Structure 1
Amino acid sequence: MSPTRIKPGAIGRIDWDYERTPGKIRGVARTRDGADRPRRVVAVRDTRVEVEAELRMKAASLVYLGDVWSRSATLEEAIERWIATLSDADEGNAQKPQSAETYARTARGAIVPRIGALCLGDITTPQLRDFMKEMRVAPHRTPRGKGEVGYSVSYRLHILRALRDSLGLAVSMGAIPFNPARELPRPSKKVKGPKRQKQALTRAQVAVLRDCVRQWEASSRSGPRRGPQLRLAIELGLATGVASERWEAS
């Protein structure tokens, strides 16, 4: 059985030894820092209890001394640290579990495979703009396995949120001086064409409409008989002035 993996900030087995200084005890233990790299901590105290307490304190402090927030850290590392803050009210990021899972799945599925290897200090706003444009036409598969071209607006909004928040967290931790995702435009739906001008029905058109409805009601088909609901709805619209102009009844 493989040994249990040591978590960042925790310590493994302590190796004891007596220091050269009389009456002092030396302890050595392994741990992992904030970048998840293996580290070694040493403490020299009068008793084993004091040695163990200092080892644990040093290991805990290494969580914040790792280079995960340096300029050379990757965007993937920043995203993973941001994901760890989701649903954490103390971090000002109190997301519902379902929302947190959606953001994590989106970031790991769309951002990390494409630009996750970029170093934080090398990321620029034009790069991120190009990436967001790519998301509009990128081929991908839906959860049901169906192939599609371009991610939806809602999905791209999740991508933008993940970029802004993870890089914003890197700014707050001193890794980079500004957030390159802050000025990215917000994805929006396609702009609709000009609205069609309203046009009032003429007397002849109204007569044709009524005749078509009567034919539809009288036509034979299988199933329940067609009722007057459609005809009544049309007559109500005509009577209440749905048309932009009035028409005179014959």
Structure 2
Amino acid sequence: MRRGGYPSEVAARRARDELLALSREEQAGRSWTVARWLRYWLSTRTRIRPTARMHYTRDVEHFLIPHIGGLILGDLTSRQLNMAFAQIGSTRNRSGQPQTPCTLQHVHTTLRAALSAAVREGLIVDNPARRVELPARARPQAQVWTEARVAEWAATGQRPTIAVWTPGQLASFLDYVRDDRLFALWWLIALRGLRRGEAAGLRWTEVDLHAGQLSVVRQRTTAGYDVHEGPPKSAASRRTVALDQHTVRVLRQHRDRQQQRRRAARAEVGKVCHDSGYVFTGPDGLPLHPGYLTQRLRLLVARAGSPPIRLHDLRHGAATLRAPPART
């Protein structure tokens, strides 16, 4: 470690002696840069989900290190951080738009967690990120696709940030996709509130059609394009979902068609269909990539002529919608 700028040799020796009297943790806080600490902190985060690691790494490498990485960890102040976040807020995202308050909040959450770890390790005594002031983040509320909103969307292309269908719009969509290979998946997400990853990771061993229930014990998520399978999003997400008679009938029909496709594939020379045990699979019998479900829903919504919604918005409407009668 090298430091300069002292008015005399005596002052320099005094500073050296003060540093040597500190603990190793305190010495690290006086000598490590913010960049070094952030990367070390990331390397110790061994029990987080791959998606969380990807977001942390993006925040650290893309936002934090370019703006505060060269500062000394122990000298970091809330004034420096406020200036850094003002600079981050003036940059543009991939769409050429200013960084959103949501992005700034995510970056701040990452920095605050990293500096809190530095406090616990004894490198610093206070977390200056606690006093950073950020723009308020407006939380958009889900809006129903009323006739007026549908007309405005058709005329201008403008749509709500979060939108849900009316029961009639949902029934119309489900009627349109009833012959789709993933009809049962759209049904479960829309009417039983499964998340995309939970539906993609659902296995037949977790479905009890006799008792009319299924258990959510895993999910398939993505980090970039890579798929990772693990436990649900939170402890509360590990749950048992009751299935009404219409949903049981839909799942029975889906299982029967899946078994028919598997038998047909076995009868054809050179065609392979795996018995993976997943409820929703591709033509090869293997589980689906979660990103495919998002793309597939977008395509089907456009073909059905329904007002657009995201896959997660389809789930959001489940709490207020009642299941329409199943068609046979």
Please state which band the TM-score falls in when normalised by the shorter chain. 0.3 to 0.5
Q: Structure 2-normalised TM-score?
A: 0.32
Q: Which has the higher helix share?
A: 2
Higher RCO structure, 1 or 2 (CA under 8 Å, sep 6+): 2
* Higher alpha-carbon Rg: 1
Given the two structures, how large is their TM-score scaled by the length of structure 1?
A: 0.42
